[in-house]
Structure 1
Amino acid sequence: MKVTVVGAGAVGATVADNIARKELCEELVLLDIKEGVAEGKALDMTQTAALLHFDTRIVGSTNDYSKTAGSDVVVVTSGIPRKPGMTREELIGVNANIVRGVCQQILEHSPDAVFVIISNPMDTMTYLALQATGIDKHRIIGMGGALDSARFRCYLSMALGCSPGDLNAMVIGGHGDTTMIPLTRLASWGPAPVSDFIAAEQLQKVAADTMVGGATLTKLLGTSAWYAPGAAGAAVVEAIVRDEKKLIACSVLLEGEYGQEDICMGVPVILGRKGWERIVDLNLNEEEKALFQKSADAVRSMNDVLKTMA
């Protein structure tokens, strides 16, 4: 297996670090436009191999896409990070041209690759990647739902005083502060609904904290987060390369599912070796359907910006 991570910033490097430590591939390529950054970080990670006991071969390169040839999975983190006070929507104008160029150059050297999109605004960049490559929809996956769901489980575990690993909780919809939908009704601690253990008001606070989870970190750090996004990206890669058939919320193209057409949004999908295999219907109630529609309308408004750039 060969995996490429495009963008050696904080998120890309963290994705690569997780992939290397888990030995998800024999060769890992880290690519960046800035001279020496990918090479330096690749060497730094390689120097941890003896300490962390992994054998992944890590190659760093400055904008040489030939080094990515034959990649099975490509993670795209390219673009500028979100700054304090900046919405994901404001990133579109800058990041769209970057992501389009990256995807097209990768495809020239790795025509069979599965793409995992992390660049923000993630749902719109996932939709753009699908348009820019023209490849089968199952090979284009946006990572946002995996990250949002991890944050949901984090805040739930804090409220319940339990291990996040014991919780099942998912976030669907758009990957944005006002568009994501933490599914509180379906969240469970082991076999029991979390509502059996936590008051409704506290559960709603958990959902609210989840929705601003990224913005909270941006305010504290002065830039976007990287540890959780990097780990989430690597978790999606792991499900693909190990053919795990794992159920993860990811942004994928909807063609009638959840009542939506021609849009990429976070929904539960089964991930395997060839990308996402099928979308799982959660049988949402009327309130959740209304929230999903509202989220879809917001994502479409962001996608409309792409039309003005054509």
Structure 2
Amino acid sequence: MKVTVVGAGAVGATCADNIARKQLCDELVIVDIKEGVAEGKAMDLMQTAQLEGFDTNIIGSTNDYTKTAGSTVAVITSGVPRKPGMTREELIGINAGIVKTVTKNILQYSPDCIIIVISNPMDTMTYLALKESGLPKHRIIGMGGMLDSARFRYFLSTAMQCSPNDLQAVVVGGHGDTTMIPLTRLATYSGVPASHFLDADTLKKVAADTMVGGATLTGLLGTSAWYAPGAAGAALVEAIVRDEKKIMPCCVYLEGEYGQSDICIGVPVIIGKNGWEKIIDYNLNEEEQALFVKSADAVRSMNSVLSTLSI
């Protein structure tokens, strides 16, 4: 079993760290375009093997995809964060070129792999990876819903003063401050609706805090978060390589589900060895469905930028 992580920045390195610690594969390959970075981080991680008790062999590569040959799963984290003064179109233009090239390189040596996309803007990059790869839709998965839902459970657990592990809570829709939809109606604490413990105003605040969860961290850190995004990517890898059949909120291609088509957006899916295997219908109420349509419209607007690019 081989897994590849493309991008040796903070998110990619954290994802690789989690994969190694959980021993999700025999060989883990980290690829980066910057000379020596992937090799250095691979060596650093390998020097923790005895301390952490794992046997995964970790290899670093500077833009040499031959080492990734035969990967079961590839995680794309590469790209640039949005910088002050950078327009949405500029960010998409830069990262679209990167994601297109990485996808092509991965599939040249691992044509049967499943691709997980973390690069931003995640919904649009997932859509691009699907269209450019020509792969069956179930083999391209965007990570965003996993991260947003983890943040939702964090803010719920803080409000309820309980363990996030006892909570079930999911976010659907686009992976963005104005497009994600925390489904407070469906949130539960060991099977009991969260609304039994929190009043409507508190639940609204939890949802609002979730929606700006990434921006809040960026404000505090001065850069994008990496621990939770990396762990979310690794959790998806785990569900695939261990064929866990878990229901996870992910960005996948819709063909009529939730009233939407020709779009990659966050919905609950069953994840197993074949990638995403089935979309789960949460039967959104009228208000939630209206928000989902609005979210999809915003994602489509982002996707429309792709047609203007020369990549």
TM value normalised by structure 2: 0.98
Q: Aligned residue for 1:80?
A: 80
Q: Aligned residue for 1:217?
A: 217
Q: How does 1:143-162 map to 2 (within 5 A)?
A: 143-162=143-162
Instruction: Check conservation: 1:11, 1:226, Cα contact below 8 A.
Output: yes
Q: Kindly provide the amino acid, as one letter, of the partner of residue 96 in structure 1.
A: A
Q: How does 1:91-170 map to 2 (within 5 A)?
A: 91-170=91-170
| Structure 2 CA distance for aligned equivalents of residues 31 and 287 of structure 1 | 43
Q: Kindly provide the amino acid, as one letter, of the partner of residue 35 in structure 1.
A: E
Pairwise CA distance, 1:219: 1.3
Q: Deviations over 1:217-271 (max 9, x none)?
A: 1111111100000000000110001000000000000000000010000000000
| Structure 2 CA distance for aligned equivalents of residues 100 and 259 of structure 1 | 28
Q: Kindly provide the amino acid, as one letter, of the partner of residue 265 in structure 2.
A: M
| Structure 2 CA distance for aligned equivalents of residues 91 and 214 of structure 1 | 17
Q: Runs of 5+ in structure 2 lacking a partner?
A: none
Aligned length: 310
Pairwise CA distance, 1:143: 0.1
Q: How does 1:167-186 map to 2 (within 5 A)?
A: 167-186=167-186
Q: Deviations over 1:169-208 (max 9, x none)?
A: 0000000000000000000001110000011101100000
- Percent identity, aligned pairs only, is 74
Q: How does 1:1-310 map to 2 (within 5 A)?
A: 1-83=1-83, 90-310=90-310
Superposed CA RMSD: 1.1
Q: Kindly provide the amino acid, as one letter, of the partner of residue 278 in structure 2.
A: R
Pairwise CA distance, 1:84: 5.8
Change (3 A) 1:198 1:20: same
Q: Runs of 5+ in structure 1 lacking a partner?
A: none
| Structure 2 CA distance for aligned equivalents of residues 85 and 216 of structure 1 | 19
| Structure 2 CA distance for aligned equivalents of residues 29 and 139 of structure 1 | 19
Local SS of the residue matching 2:82: coil
| Structure 2 CA distance for aligned equivalents of residues 282 and 213 of structure 1 | 24
| Structure 2 CA distance for aligned equivalents of residues 77 and 30 of structure 1 | 11
Q: Kindly provide the amino acid, as one letter, of the partner of residue 218 in structure 1.
A: T
| Structure 1 CA distance for aligned equivalents of residues 221 and 116 of structure 2 | 25
| Structure 1 CA distance for aligned equivalents of residues 227 and 86 of structure 2 | 20
Q: Deviations over 1:104-145 (max 9, x none)?
A: 111000000000000000000000000110011000000000
